[in-house]
Amino acid sequence: MKNILFILFISATLEICSAQTNMSTCGVFSEKSTCKTAGTMLVDFYCKYSSFTDPGEYEYLYENLPDPLSELCSLIKSQFIHPYAELPKYRELIPKERWDEFFKYPTVKSILEGLLSYDSAGLVNNRKPENKLVLGCREYSILLASILKYRGIPTRVRCGHATYLIPNFHTSHVICEVWNEDEKRWMLVDPGTSMIDFPRGKFDFSNELWLEMQKGEIDPNLCGIPGKYTGVVSVAAKVFSDLASVLGTEHTIFQYPPILDYAFENDYQLADEHKEILDKISELMKSIDTGNFPKLQEMYMNTPEIQITRSFESASISSKNSKQLKNN
């Protein structure tokens, strides 16, 4: 497979699916979830922990955290060192074996356990660099989502591309949508930059960018991670991971659906039938909260090739010529 680093920004985790014993095919939703709506919004559904956002026995760490979103985002950022934007400054403090911790901390529970193992004080602003975890935007977002869900605030993790990180480029990114109860709307929150309720036009939602690309309105070579991977598959991958996330499972960055195997083996090109599937998903995702949630749920559950059921082994990350897949 060309450029194995591509998978570092594909969302998806099969190993963790074993924790979802009551869910089929790496379950998107629990049978215990009520999905009660408030108006046309599935706000109750997004108050519930997923297998990835559940803090488990470490929920007590949330008891005395600050209320303002700005302070909460700052606190979350203080727990991590971003592996690309910040790690170069701290390589003398962080052992080389810790430079990529995506595989070690796939869930909020594992993240909190890891943080406590380095500093028993828990979620603190003054955490020393050597006691932080080397993780990225997906982990920032699932931790914020977990804390807000604990407070009863509906929150969902969104995978897409940001236009505010690199000038004139659509950068692979993960943020949160947080329910504003007063105004009955979703607002965007990026815990990695502490941007709160910023314009939706600054973030390329996965489905919207895919449809724009199909119309020739976006150059796919300006989407992804410059110098690492860009192109059609970067955009397509976000659609699948974003779909799984809004349906209730915020997969890790080293997983992907079987449908992408074709692209990996064919110079990152998608077959026409794959594009049709992506078109259908993207159109349905225009109205997640106003009637299409069940349709998306049914499509995911009945289409094995789009389910996040493959993952790369950590060993394959360091090799550009090896591809180690798990078919689970």
DSSP string, 190-254: ETTTTEES--GGGEEEHHHHHHHHHTT-S-GGGEEETTTEESHHHHHHHHHHHHHHHTT----TB
Long-range interactions of 24-27: CB distance < 8 A, separation 24+: 24/301, 25/301, 25/304, 25/307, 25/309, 26/249, 26/307, 26/308, 26/309, 26/328, 27/248, 27/249
Residue 173 sits at φ, ψ, to 5 deg, of -160, 160
CB 258 within 8 A of CB 26: no
CB 142 within 8 A of CB 191: no
Q: How far apart are CA 231 and CA 260, in angstroms?
A: 13
Residue in this structure with the two tokens 């924790």, named with its chain if needed:
19
For the entire predicted model, the pTM comes to 0.85
What's the alpha-carbon Rg for the chain, to the nearest Å? Answer: 19
| pLDDT tens track, the chain, 328 positions | 434 333 333 333 333 333 332 333 333 333 333 334 433 458 899 999 999 999 999 999 999 999 999 999 999 999 999 988 899 999 999 999 998 898 899 999 999 999 999 999 999 999 999 999 999 999 999 999 999 999 999 999 999 999 999 999 999 999 999 999 999 999 999 999 999 999 999 999 999 999 999 999 999 999 998 877 789 999 999 999 999 999 999 999 889 999 999 999 999 999 999 999 999 999 999 999 988 999 999 999 999 999 999 987 643 433 333 333 333 3
